[in-house]
Structure 1
C-alpha cells in the first residue's frame, strides 16, 4: 500500500516546498498530495513576485519545475488538491462561470505537474443547490472535462459541507454522477469527526437529548458496516488519515465572525494532529471499514496541526518520520481489528 503526505500538512509558512519534499522523501513516503497553495508559494519564490491564483500560464510553468523536483526525489504527485466550492451554483450565474473557468485552469496545472487525479471537496458555500441530482450534474460535467485528458475526480465529504457532510452523501452523489473516472476520497477526520465527534461540546462527541453515548456508538458502527459492505474498493480513489484534538473550551456553535467557518470547519483547519499524537476520535474503526472494502490504494496523511511548531520546532525530518510511523501504526491496528 503506497504512503503519501500532503504538502500542506508539513512545516510552517516559511518552509519551502523543496524543504518539505526532501523531508517527505527522507521518511520513506512514496508520493505527495500537491496542495495548490504550495504550488502558488513555489511560483512566487521561483519568479520572485506574487503570482495570482488564476495566472495559469505562470502556475503551469512553475508546475513543470515542481514535477521535475518531485521526480528527482523519486516521489509521485498522485493528486492535486483542494478543489473547493465548485458544484451547485445557479445556472447562468457568475459564480458558476468562475467555477468552471477555475476547473479548466486546474486541469492545465494537472498536466503540468504530471498528476491524473483532482480532489474535490463537498462545497461549504451558501447559496448553492442542495439537490443531489443538481450537484451530480455539475460533477458529471467536470468528470467529462477531466476524462478528455485521461484524468479522474476524487470527491470528498467535508463534515461542515452545506449539502454532503457524510461519506454516504458523497457516495450517493458519486453513484448519480455514474462516470468511471469519479470515485471517493475518504478521510478519518471528516467521517469520525462528522458522525461521532463535535468540537462544540464538553465531551467532544455529538450530544443531543435524543441520543445517548451508547446509541451514538451503535449508529457510528452501523455507518461503518454499511460503508464496508456497499462501497466497492475500486471506487475509493484514496484514503486520508488524521485525528482531532478535543477542543477546550469548546468552540461556539455558530460560524466564526472573522472567517465565516462553521465550527467543524474551524476544527478541521487548526486542530487535526497525526494519528496517535494527541487526538481522540475513533479513527481506527473507520480505517478498518475502509480496509474491509478491499481497498489497497494511496494511504495519505493530511493534517492541520496548530501545535506543529510547539511539538516539532523546525525539524521537518522528525515530523515526516512521525507521520510515517503513524501511517504504519494505524494500518497495523486497523488490520488487527479485522481479525478480532
Structure 2
C-alpha cells in the first residue's frame, strides 16, 4: 500500500505535509520511549519478517492472528501520536492526528479487507478503547502526584511523555466536565458485581483454546483466582456459575435442546446493548439488518475448519522441508561424484 493510498483511506485524509511531519514525530518518540514503549520491537519484527497479517472473522472483533500485537501496537500509537489537547475521547481527536495514527498502523500491519466498513469500524473501536485507557492512565498518574503532595504541573511522570503533552493532559483532567464524568464512572464501576481474571487476553481467545467449547465453562475459567487454586474470585461469581450449571442440567433432563449455553448465560448474566456478557468485547454484536448476512454460519464449525487447515499447512511445510533436505543432499552427492570423476581419464562428464 502506497502512502497516497494510506492518506486516502485514513480518517480525515490528512495533507502530504502532515505525512512528512509524521516521520519527524516518530524519530522524536523513539528517543523518548523505552524501546518496546515506542514501537521499536514492532519495527524490528516487521523489518525481519514483514508486516503482520491481520484478518477478522465474521462476527469477531479479535484478529484471527497477532491480536495481542495489534492491540499493543495501537496502544503505542495512541500514547505517542494521538493529540490529547482538548480531546475528551477518540471522537474529539483531530482528523490530522487520527490520520497520523493510521499511517503508523499501516507501517506495522497489513489488514485484510480494509475497504470493508465493518473492519474499519473494528479498528476505530480499538483506537477508541486504547485512547480511553490512556486517558485513564494519565488521570491515575495525576492523582498519584496529588496524593504525594506534588503539584502535577511541575512534574512529568513518564519518560515517554513530553512536558507539553503532560500539561495538555492536566488541562483536560482539571476540566469541570471531565471531573463530573469521572465521578459518575467511578460510581458505576462500584456497581459491577464481580471482575474477571482473563488478564490482557480476551475471553474469545480463551474460548478458542478450549478443546470442548463451552460458554459456561468459559465463565468459570475467566472468573477463578489464579492464586487460590481455582477458587472463584468471589461468592457472587460462584453463585452465577452454579445457577448456569443447574439450568443446563434441567434442560438436559427435559431434552430441551432449544436452551443452548449462550441462552443460559444470557438468562443468568443478563443483557447489555452492544455487548455479549460472558464473551467479552471479542465478539461483534450485529444489528438486526446485519444478522441476516451471517445467518446459518456456525462459528464453532469455522474455528474447527481453521484449526484443521492450520494443521494441514504445518504438515505440508514439514514435508516440503524434508523434501528440500533430500534434494540438497542429492545435489551435494552429485557434486562430489563429479569431483571424483574429474580425476578418472576417459570418463564423460556431460550427464
Structure number with greater CO (CA < 8 Å, separation at least 6) is 1
TM > 0.5:
no
Higher helix share: 2
What TM-score results when the alignment is normalised by the length of structure 2?
Answer: 0.24
Structure ID, larger Rg: 2
